[in-house]
Amino acid sequence: MTNRKMQIIELTLKNIQEKGFTSFSYEHLAKELGVTKASIHYHFEKKGDLGIAVCERIQQGLERTFTLMKESTLPAEEKPFAFIMQRIEFLEQDGICPISALQADYQELPQPMQEKLQQLSQMEIDVFVGLLKEAKQHGALKSTNEQDLESLAMLLISSTKGALQYKRVLGEDFFQKTLDQLKELLK
Give the pLDDT confidence score for residue 89 in this predicted structure.
Answer: 84
Least-confidence region, from 37-41, 51-55, 141-145, 155-159: 141-145
What is the rounded radius of gyration, in angstroms, for the C-alpha atoms of the chain? 18
Q: Average model confidence (pLDDT) for the chain?
A: 92
Domains of the chain plus CATH, in order, are: 53-185 (1.10.357.10)
Q: Express each pLDDT in 40-83 by its tens digit.
A: 999 999 999 999 999 999 999 999 999 999 999 999 999 999 99
Average pLDDT over residues 141-153: 84
- What band does 168 get if pLDDT is binned at 50, 70 and 90? confident
Nearest C-alpha neighbor of 182 from the set 85, 72, 76, 74: 85
pLDDT top residue among 76 and 186: 76
**How far is it, in rounded angstroms, from Cα 104 to Cα 150?**
22
Cα(175)–Cα(7) distance, integer angstroms: 30
Q: What percent of the chain has pLDDT over 70?
A: 98
Beta strands in the chain (DSSP E): none
State residue 163's pLDDT score: 93
Whether residue 1 is predicted with pLDDT greater than 60 in this model: the reply is: no
Q: What is the pLDDT of residue 92?
A: 62
pLDDT above 60 for 127: yes
Distance (Å, rounded) from C-alpha 170 to C-alpha 179? 14
CB count, 10 Å around CB of 10? Answer: 12
Mean pLDDT of the 136-153 span? 85
C-alpha distances in Å from residue 164, one per residue of 4, 12, 73 = 30, 20, 28
